[in-house]
Chains A and B, each alone.
Chain A
């Protein structure tokens, strides 16, 4: 973890309301898939924006983000050459055990981007199936990346791209067809993760979910971004997570 002074080299729209920003660093960085960065947009915005790292190529790091509030609106308008402080890499990230050969990625909404980092890390090393849900055709993105998976099923809420269903339903359909993974890695809206956790419990599947929460420091000191664990304790999403074993976290 380090606060990098990073230079924007590209910042462009990739889907409806979704932008991708690529930063160039002055030095190498080692990132595990599923980790995130805390981006300072400066000015009146005192909190940084915690955003999942989507890909790392050499000294270039790409984040994909949804335009949601003031801060991401400001980030969207920043041009190449702008320098921002980015504290990264943060959080634990996704780990896949040696014996887990078949990975299923289940993602929805902006949750698809950390999964791209998983795909890139394990591409060619594991058998990867991706079940990705989008709101509609305009929201579809990351197809070039997910297209590299051994199986890629894209679905939409309204059926305007792929079948009309959500990512969890697409995953269940694959399960019924006999495509059982060794581990499920997921990121997306909480209701989606909750449904997936139900499926994983029913099917006795190992399942890890990446959570999102409003954050303060981003490094585990302020106890702002906590989640409930099934043992009654609290965990810090930024430091103990953002990836949790689905069976250990209350969704």
Chain B
């Protein structure tokens, strides 16, 4: 038995596998299939101060090796989460990460202040590609990444703040540095890549929103490369994600510099993906004589060096 636990901003996760926001709700549905307390962490469905109804349907499409989604931040609002789901989710024993989004700097500060001290960590969604008011405006330029991070941090005074980075930018490492300067305790990446899938019979995009966020196995090499670039640039811990389907995928991200990983789309392909990955991480470590999984972080050596 290897030690799979990781330390993220002073918080111990029993393993580095975190459910990615938007694919796992608040955990209740998957808990009908297995005990979600065994998962390292759960990043909740993206929440806003007020409830949101989201985008029209269809909200999802498939392309080989990837999916596209444009749910549009449908959520019951942060108060509903605090009243109805928070205590239950904590009681499962998983690390509770509240994923939050907003329209304005003030929204970000307010929602972080509301959750401060109530959850284990807060993940800032400044990169939702599917909603104009979903914070994307803040997630593109390095200056605004710093500004929104600083405002959020002034709300989340006692709770580690993760800034989730968009890959749809000029230089993701620069944006990671901006988040770090703004006071981020951690960065996570990648959010989805903006894409389009067309129904050629109707000559229209499949998704009602026209474009959607691309995720799933096919985006993994892009995500690994970006995780490496970001991990090289910042001193704060990095959570890697993008197309992780199995333990070996997760290990790639760790070697590229991630302290923990998130699993999203794979939960749709196989609802038991995360428990399987956790079990296989242990088996991989045992087979390779690795006593501490966390020792793999950042061990990548580039060719020619």
Q: Tell me the residues in window 120-165 of chain A with beta carbons closer than 8 Å to chain B beta carbons.
A: none
Q: Which of chain A's residues have a CB closer than 8 A to the CB of B53?
A: 234
Interchain CB contact under 8 A, A224 and B60: yes
| Cβ-closest chain A residue relative to B58 | A214
Q: Which of B29-37, B117-125, B222-230 contacts A (4 or more CB under 8 A)?
A: B29-37
Counting CB contacts under 8 A, is A213 at the interface?
yes
| Interface bracket on A | 20 to 34
Counting CB contacts under 8 A, is A47 at the interface?
yes
Q: Which of B174-182, B248-256, B261-269, B291-299 contacts A (4 or more CB under 8 A)?
A: B261-269
Interchain CB contact under 8 A, B29 and A46: no
Which one of B29, B58, B272 lies within 8 Å of A217 (CB-CB)?
B29
Q: Tell me the residues in window 185-240 of chain A with beta carbons closer than 8 Å to chain B beta carbons.
A: 213-227, 234, 239
Q: Which of chain B's residues have a CB closer than 8 A to the CB of A227?
A: 57
Interchain CB contact under 8 A, A45 and B23: no
Which one of B25, B269, B270 lies within 8 Å of A222 (CB-CB)?
B25
Interchain CB contact under 8 A, A219 and B29: yes
| Interface bracket on B | 35 or more
Q: Which of chain B's residues have a CB closer than 8 A to the CB of A224?
A: 57, 59-60, 69, 71
Interchain CB contact under 8 A, B271 and A219: yes
| Cβ-closest chain A residue relative to B59 | A224
Interchain CB contact under 8 A, B33 and A1: yes
Interchain CB contact under 8 A, A46 and B57: no
Q: Which of chain B's residues have a CB closer than 8 A to the CB of A239?
A: 29
Q: Which of chain A's residues have a CB closer than 8 A to the CB of B64?
A: 44-45, 70
0/1 string, B5-23, CB within 8 A of A gives 1: 0000000000000000011
Interchain CB contact under 8 A, A226 and B271: no
A221–B45 alpha-carbon span in the complex (Å): 9
Q: Which of chain B's residues have a CB closer than 8 A to the CB of A40?
A: 269-270
Which one of B67, B265, B271 lies within 8 Å of A87 (CB-CB)?
B271
Given contacts A44-B65, A234-B74, are A226 and B54 in contact (CB under 8 A)?
A: yes
Counting CB contacts under 8 A, is A85 at the interface?
yes
Interchain CB contact under 8 A, A3 and B271: yes
Counting CB contacts under 8 A, is A48 at the interface?
yes
Interchain CB contact under 8 A, B74 and A221: no
Counting CB contacts under 8 A, is B280 at the interface?
no
Interface SS of chain A: loop
Interchain CB contact under 8 A, A215 and B60: yes
Interchain CB contact under 8 A, A1 and B32: yes
Which one of B25, B33, B267 lies within 8 Å of A223 (CB-CB)?
B25
| Cβ-closest chain B residue relative to A217 | B268
Interchain CB contact under 8 A, A47 and B270: no
Counting CB contacts under 8 A, is B66 at the interface?
yes
Counting CB contacts under 8 A, is B24 at the interface?
yes
Q: Which of chain A's residues have a CB closer than 8 A to the CB of B142?
A: none
A3–B74 alpha-carbon span in the complex (Å): 27
Q: Which of chain B's residues have a CB closer than 8 A to the CB of A219?
A: 29-30, 32-33, 271
| Cβ-closest chain B residue relative to A219 | B29
A134–B268 alpha-carbon span in the complex (Å): 33
Interchain CB contact under 8 A, B54 and A46: no
| Cβ-closest chain B residue relative to A213 | B57
Given contacts A217-B267, A219-B30, A224-B60, are A46 and B65 in contact (CB under 8 A)?
A: yes
Q: Which of chain B's residues have a CB closer than 8 A to the CB of A71?
A: 62
Chain A nearest CB: distance from B39 CB in Å? 13
Given contacts A46-B265, A46-B268, A223-B45, are A234 and B54 in contact (CB under 8 A)?
A: yes
Chain A nearest CB: distance from B271 CB in Å? 6
- Name 11 interchain pairs, CB-CB below 8 A, sorted by A: A3-B272, A47-B67, A48-B269, A214-B61, A219-B30, A221-B25, A221-B30, A222-B25, A223-B25, A223-B54, A224-B60
